[in-house]
Amino acid sequence: MTLTGHSLIANRPLAGHGKTTFGVNPATNEKLEPAYSLLTEKQLTEATVAAAEAFASFSTLDPETHARFLEAIADNIEAIGEELIIRACLETGLPAARLQGERARTTGQLRLFAGVVRQGDFRGVRIDPALPDRTPLPRADIRQRQIPLGPVAVFGASNFPLAFSTAGGDTASALAAGCPVVFKAHNAHPGTGELVGQAIAKAVRDFGLHPGVFSLVYGPGSSIGQALVADPAIKAVGFTGSQSAGIALMRTAAARPEPIPVYAEMSSLNPVFVFPGALTGDVNALASQYVAAVTGSSGQLCTSPGLLFAPTGEAGDKFAAAVGLAVSSCAGQTMLTAGIAGSWNAGAEALGSANKVDVIGQGTPGTTENAPAPSIFGTSVSEFVSNPVLHAEVFGAASLVIRYSTSEELVDAAQRLKGQLTASLQLTATDYAAAAPLIPVLEQKVGRIIVNGWPTGVEVGHAMVHGGPFPATSDTRTTSVGTLAINRFLRPVAYQNLPQELLPVPLQDDNPWRLNRRINGVGNNAAATVRAEVNA
């Protein structure tokens, strides 16, 4: 594919009238061609107006066409081939194997949502047929379904150039819901974004959809991003990134004449709680697993464990020593951008210079630019609960080991945590009684609780929750990974006493789309009709 260096607005390239930017190879700090022209706020409205115009037809697609459209996007992304992986490697410094896996996750979740669209349960059809003879008052015919919110603004993430980017989870779930998408590309990997954007645009063309179903925009993150969220055509926002940027978007969305929801995934320390029983086994293996979770992808994962609670005493000392040994053999990996590497250096320095914090172990810097040495620090639980500096996220390969003496201290520390995406427990059956009081505390603090595993590696499926209380996310009721993510972009509407001729297809008695529906509160077979239920 040919990179144009322009935004893709409703299926046509549009040169920006603003400044230009380049992708940068973080391993060398060299600029990558082509230059990308940035849109002005005035030009941005071409994308949002087109998205609004596309909504009526796209939101009412029949399930089979809709599903095949999502599958076509996946096919088109795979058809790009190694060109996509090569460009993503150059723009992010991530290894090819990691990006190949991320591409598979991207196409896999598009196909997963195609299945969701075909099944149709997300439409949430509920029917309470009329009861004209009910006393003392008759009941009207009331039918409910979930409908798409409208055009969605999606922001690409720096750390996932594919799976949380142009055709990533937010875009896939919004399109599956029936919402057109205006995608704000991340300026750190513009070429990767354009290649995937072209794949989506091709699917839009091939299925004869309104071109406003998808637009890809390049612009200054602060001004264009804020303008996009403030645009009256946009009805919801999907965002993955820093807490400061997420909160800024939330404020803009809340200040609109018509406030809209912002689904922001922002920051998380992902605490790991190691119980004494876990240290009776292979301590070196446990330490190596922890260090691998901290340093994988240079620690640039939203689920990287930034905290680990370990017991005091001889077993805990052996574990800490094993952690120090394991991390000392690690070399730094190229971080995504020079700015992210700089922020890591500042955060690690603040953590290491905090009161009563020691260095447990440190690796060596990498051989490329922006590849700082992985570092793991240590402190006591009493210091942790009293020092807010130790609760700050350091995005990258750094973590803090916190030593505790009693399970009560562990519960107290957990209660003082802010909202997190995950919490992990390393334990054996001998620890169950001590761990039991921690579970209800963690339920109020995190979106996913893991036993004898590590938080990195988020399965994309029906039961996954990738969310959590603020500041992990802006809305603790939602997930940005898995099929439940589609619910973010839907709202319920009830229809009372509408004749069959005016009812939307999912609510009609004959059930043309063969949906599973709840009738009088009871689930029915997809092939059943309201008329058959009422006459039974």
Residue 472 burial (CB count, 10 A): 26
Residues 6 or more apart whose CB falls under 8 angstroms from that of 499 comprise none
The dihedral through the CA atoms of 221, 223, 226, 232 has a sign that is negative
459 labelled catalytic: no
Is the peptide bond prior to 34 cis by the omega test (within 30 degrees of 0)? Answer: yes
Residues 6 or more apart whose CB falls under 8 angstroms from that of 349 comprise none
Kindly name the residue from 89, 179, 302, 330 that is annotated as catalytic: 302
DSSP symbol at 359: E
Give the CA distances from residue 385 to residues 401, 404, 517, 522, in Å, rounded to whole numbers and listed in that order: 13, 11, 49, 49
Q: Alpha helices of 353-482 — where are they, by DSSP H?
A: 381-386, 407-415, 432-435, 438-443
> How is 17-67 classified by DSSP, letter by letter?
SS-EEEEEETTTTEEEEEEEEPPPHHHHHHHHHHHHHHHHHHTT--HHHHH
Burial degree of 476 (CB within 10 A; 0-12, 13-18, 19+)? middle
Residue 15, token pair as written in the block: 């040169």
What is the C-alpha to C-alpha distance for residues 332 and 10, in angstroms, rounded to an integer? 42
Kindly name the residue from 265, 330, 393, 409 that is annotated as catalytic: 265
What is the C-alpha to C-alpha distance for residues 472 and 489, in angstroms, rounded to an integer? 19
CB 16 within 8 A of CB 7: yes
CB 262 within 8 A of CB 246: yes
Residues 6 or more apart whose CB falls under 8 angstroms from that of 506 comprise 120, 123, 125, 145, 513, 515, 517
265 labelled catalytic: yes
CB 87 within 8 A of CB 98: no
**C-alpha Rg value of the chain to the nearest Å:** 25
CA 100 and chain centroid, separation: 18
Q: Are strands 420-426 and 446-451 parallel, antiparallel or unpaired?
A: parallel
Q: Of 388, 443, 398, whose CA–CA distance to 307 is shortest? A: 398
DSSP symbol at 472: S
Among all residues, which ones are annotated catalytic?
A: 265, 302
